[in-house]
Structure 1
Amino acid sequence: MTAYEKPVIGIAELRDVLGGHFESTIEHIEQMQGGNLSRVYSFVHQGQPFVVKFSDLGDAYGTERYVSKLLSGQGIPFPRVLGEGDAGKLKYIILERIEGSILADCNTERQIALMPELIQLLTRINHLQVSNTNGYGWIKPDGSGTYPSWRDYLIDFFAEDQQGNFWEGWYDLFRTSCLERDVFEECYSRLIEYSAYNEPHRHFIHGDYSPWNILTNGQRITGIIDGNFAYGDFLVDVATLEMMMRGWGHDIVRYYQDNQEREGFVIPNFKERMIGARYLKGIDGLRFFAKMGWTDAYVNTRDFLLGLTN
């Protein structure tokens, strides 16, 4: 299996797409960095900045439309959807562009200064009101979860038979990449064991709460973008942030626990739930890093996971 290549769209086709939504001139079209699964462009219309994303992965943006309404409607700074449609075989979505640059570009001192607000925003996200929905795992465009239980979600997420999504044929990675079958099976067995602690908890999960999806103007957090949105244990988002910032010297779990204590939140079985969340994000990270050819990230994550319960 070769590394995933994001879709390519020509500038003329891009202007045609935007012309179907905006009557006057589109200016300053620029391809943006980031977006592992989408080709992303920024542009300006009548002095206002916007973003358009393109994907070849099925109904890539139906859920983002739902989540945008959910988050922005409850005061979370997430881009509003302004338009969407098809461009040949590609799907696209047009969103407002939130002020700021990614947190990953800030130096360590600035990241530490922003950490309290970063954790507070995550807490708000994970305590969104979702009691009018049902199901676990991936959020569908209608707002419901895809699976009847957390365990069903985990089993299907790592199943060999994937159809029409990013992970179709992913077992080939055991032959064609650095992904090790014995490592996967050992970590997966631990994930299933610890998932019993995560199972009772159902909240909104951003799914990719990382410094590449968090925006700041240097003084405050201005917004969040993207995500692999799901319902389940909110500690999955803590595990994601920890995994993405571990090498930068930040003790994310300690920051998070300190904030929860100040806010008066009691989190039962915190240690066991964190282990379950770490295995979920870590195993997914292993196969993603292998598919992308990021060997160093793979090795670091593998060693962390294997040492978790020793």
Structure 2
Amino acid sequence: MTAYEKPSLDIGAVKRLLEQRSRIEAEDIAPVSGGNLSSVFFFKQGGKEFVIRFSDLAGSYDRERYISRLLASQGVPYPRVLDDGKLGSLSYSISEKLEGGMLADVPEEQRGGLMPDLVKHISAMNRVDVSSTRGYGWLDGSGGGTYETWEQFAADVYKEEQNGTFWENWTELYHTTFLEKDVFEECYARLMAYAPYNAPHRHFVHNDCHAWNLLTDGRTITGIIDANCIYGDFLIDLSIAESAIPGHDVIQAFRDYQERQGIAMPHFKERLLGARHYKGLDGLRFYAKMGWRPAYDYLRGFLLNLTS
């Protein structure tokens, strides 16, 4: 299995699409670094700034409009989706451009002052009202979860048959890359052992809340972007965001904030272990598919050294 390559488009093709759909000249079109699954461009039109994303994966942006409305309506700084459609075999989504650049581009030694805002915004996102919806795991187009239980979702994410998805035939990675079956199966067994602790907790989870999906102007967190969202335990987002500000105990900062808000977190240790294994497994096979050996080796060591 070869490494996945996101779609490649030239600026001319992007410009033609934008001008055909609105009849307004598109200016300052520029590709954006980052984004492993989508090709992303910034552009200006009518004096305003926007973002357009392209993907060749089925259903890439089906949920994005619902998510943007849900989060923006409850005060989470998430970009509003303005339009979506098809360009040949590719799907595209156009959204407003929020202020700021990626947190990942801020020098690590300068990120500490952003901790309060990071905690506040991620916590607000995890606490949006989802009481009108049901289900766990991936959201469907109407905002419902697609699985009845967390355990069902967690098992399905890592099943061998993944037809028509990014992970189709993913177990070939055991034979074609450095992905180790014994390590993966050990971590999967731990995930399912901790799953009952995560199962009772149902929140909106961004599911990809790393420093490349957090925006900042250097003083505050100005936005959260590119949710790969699910319904599940919000500790999943903490397990990802903990690496966003190196040298600081992000997890403890979240715990302190939740305590001040009067939010109980029963079985915290077990739930965090479940969250780390859920995201860690995805990271192992993703790094293997992309051919990123140093990242794989680091994550492998981290997961195997986790203790109850």
TM-score, normalization by structure 2: 0.97
Question: Is 1:180 the counterpart of 2:180 in the alignment?
Answer: yes
> For 2:10 and 2:219, how far apart are their aligned partners in 1?
37
Q: Deviations over 1:232-277 (max 9, x none)?
A: 10000001112x448x323221121121122222101101100000
Supply the AA of the counterpart residue of 1:132: S
Supply the AA of the counterpart residue of 1:229: C
CA contact (8 A) 1:53 1:93 kept: yes
Q: Deviations over 1:110-154 (max 9, x none)?
A: 311001110111110111000000110011111011111100101
Q: What does residue 196 of structure 1 align with?
A: 196
Alignment of 1:159-170 (within 5 A): 159-170=159-170
Q: What does residue 103 of structure 2 align with?
A: 103
> For 2:223 and 2:234, how far apart are their aligned partners in 1?
19
Q: What does residue 297 of structure 1 align with?
A: 295
- List, as ranges, runs of 4+ consecutive aligned residues in structure 1 with deviation greater than 4 Å: none
Q: C-alpha root-mean-square deviation of aligned residues, in Å?
A: 1.2
Q: What does residue 271 of structure 1 align with?
A: 269
> For 1:238 and 1:20, how far apart are their aligned partners in 2?
42
Q: Which moved more, 1:19-28 or 1:89-98?
A: 19-28
CA contact (8 A) 2:38 2:55 kept: yes
Shift of 1:203: 0.5
Q: What does residue 122 of structure 1 align with?
A: 122
Give the paired residue count: 308
Supply the AA of the counterpart residue of 1:123: S
Which of 250, 253, 269 is matched with 1:252 structurally? 250
Q: What does residue 69 of structure 1 align with?
A: 69
> For 1:42 and 1:295, how far apart are their aligned partners in 2?
31
Q: Deviations over 1:178-221 (max 9, x none)?
A: 11000001110010000110001100000011110000111111
Change (3 A) 1:305 1:213: same
Supply the AA of the counterpart residue of 1:41: F
> For 2:226 and 2:113, how far apart are their aligned partners in 1?
23
Supply the AA of the counterpart residue of 2:84: E
Shift of 1:60: 0.6
Shift of 1:278: 0.5
CA contact (8 A) 1:21 1:83 kept: no
Question: Is 1:11 the counterpart of 2:48 in the alignment?
Answer: no
Shift of 1:12: 3.1
Q: Percent identity among equivalent residues?
A: 50
Q: What does residue 44 of structure 1 align with?
A: 44
For residue 75 of structure 1, give the secondary structure of its aligned residue in structure 2: coil
CA contact (8 A) 2:11 2:30 kept: no
Question: Is 1:157 the counterpart of 2:157 in the alignment?
Answer: yes
Q: What does residue 32 of structure 2 align with?
A: 32
> For 2:220 and 2:55, how far apart are their aligned partners in 1?
31
> For 1:270 and 1:76, how far apart are their aligned partners in 2?
25
CA contact (8 A) 2:126 2:205 kept: yes
Unaligned runs of 5+ in 1: none
TM-score, normalization by structure 1: 0.97
Unaligned runs of 5+ in 2: none
For residue 62 of structure 1, give the secondary structure of its aligned residue in structure 2: coil
Question: Is 1:89 the counterpart of 2:99 in the alignment?
Answer: no
Alignment of 1:138-149 (within 5 A): 138-149=138-149
> For 2:224 and 2:300, how far apart are their aligned partners in 1?
28
Q: Deviations over 1:60-109 (max 9, x none)?
A: 10111110110011111111111111100000011110010011111234
Q: What does residue 227 of structure 2 align with?
A: 227
Supply the AA of the counterpart residue of 1:80: R
> For 1:11 and 1:52, how far apart are their aligned partners in 2?
12
For residue 21 of structure 1, give the secondary structure of its aligned residue in structure 2: helix
